Amino acid sequence: MDTRVKTAAESAPERARALQPLLDEHGAEMDRRRELTPEVVEALVDRDMLRLLLPKNLGGQEIHLLEYCKTTEALAWADASVGWFINQSNVSSATSAAAMPHAAAALVFGNASEGLAWGARHSKSKAIRVEGGYRLSGTWSFASGGRHTRWLGAHSAVQNPDGAPHVRYGRADDRSFLFLRSDAAITDDWHVLGLRGTGSDTYTVEDLFVPDDRAPARDAQDERRENGPIYTIMSTLLYASGFCGVTLGIARRLFESYVELARGRHSRASANAMAVNNAVQREIGLLEAKLSAARAFLHEAAGEVYEAAAAGKLDVNLRLRLRLATTYGMNEATDVAIASYRAAGTLAMMNSGPFERRFRDAMSASQHLQAMMPHIEMVGRHIIGTDNVIQHI
């Protein structure tokens, strides 16, 4: 197990803030390359950013969920793709490791440089139960950060050899499968609006054998061997919390760029300089309130959920409160990003300026499932008392 990385002197958010100058310096190049630069990857490993949520008995940090939100926010303030990759990899690695046999988890995640990337689950893959494991076939997309991890994964329902659904624990068996990137065929198709640096390629495996000990049912309590608060919260809300932090970081940076612009620019659309324009002053005040309120709600809900999980008292009400905070926060952050971009006028269009790339990142982040309004509707149904089907919140 790799223990060369020393993190005790600084908190995770402090380590993230220390990386900001480097991420700023490499941001445009990572956007152009559609992947992180080697210097950034090395710095992330050196600052132990890939093991934030990993179990301590595997060399991980298991940091508090509130600290985790602050960390993804601080990274995304400097570069959204880095923040996105770090959240995706940390949650994927930690929740997988928590449901794997210790020896297998140590083999995959025991080194500070090991991350995990995978694409979204869909219904067209096939995992056939065989002696000692599974034969996996399928194609998955959006493997964020997959160019910088040795390990990829995929989600799939499991079938018996005769094609019937495989049943375990009284329900249809659904698993995540971990395998080496070298075992997959990679399609370089990450040509997108924003979050370009994540290099979220498509990948395919065909009849790949994956052993039992690398096929966890991540959120199934029957298989979870780690009982810390992070693992009780489970993957969906962990992803949502980290991605909300990312969108808040992007929005904060765009908003700060707007404020800086207002301090020294005279808009051609107004007789007054921006700094003394009442409309600009009002908008800046309201945007600060909007962003700060969304952040405070996220931090409050994340803290409540973590403490309840630690005490063994996490219930559906607190889960839904965090779901509301994360979805609301991502949408409020998007609104702030849009307003800041529009306020910059034609300057916002310039590649050389502080707005264009980050605005593309903000718009791309806003399209993620975690920001979708049906989550808010689910919370509304719960508050009203309408029948709800709640899964993995």
Please write the tens of the pLDDT for every residue from 196-230: 999 999 999 999 999 999 999 998 989 999 999 99
CA angle centred on 147, ends 123 and 372, rounded to 5°: 45
Query: Could you say which residues of the chain have pLDDT below 70?
Result: 1-8, 266-271, 389-392
- Residue 313 is which amino acid? K
Q: Write down the pLDDT at residue 127.
A: 97
Do 180 and 151 meet the contact criterion of CB atoms below 8 Å apart? yes
Please give the share of the chain, as a percent, with pLDDT higher than 90: 89
Give per-residue pLDDT as tens, 148-163.
Answer: 999 999 999 999 999 9
Q: Write down the pLDDT at residue 228.
A: 96
Q: How many helices (H) and strands (E) does the chain have?
A: 11, 9
Q: Write down the pLDDT at residue 355.
A: 96
Q: Write down the pLDDT at residue 389.
A: 65
CA–CA gap between residue 132 and residue 211 (Å, rounded): 6
Domain ranges of the chain: 12-109, 116-214, 234-384
- Quick one: fold of 234-384? Butyryl-CoA Dehydrogenase, subunit A; domain 3 (1.20.140)
Q: Write down the pLDDT at residue 316.
A: 96
> What CATH number matches the domain at 116-214, 2.120.10.30, 1.10.287.3510, 3.60.21.10, 2.40.110.10?
2.40.110.10
* CATH architecture, domain 12-109: Orthogonal Bundle (1.10)
Q: Write down the pLDDT at residue 266.
A: 59
Give per-residue pLDDT as tens, 162-189.
Answer: 999 999 988 999 999 999 999 999 999 9
> Please, what's the largest Cα pairwise distance for the chain?
77
CA torsion, ordered 373, 378, 383, 387, to nearest 10 deg: 150
Do 205 and 294 meet the contact criterion of CB atoms below 8 Å apart? no
* Residue 145 backbone zone (phi > 0: left; psi -120 to 50: alpha; other: beta): left
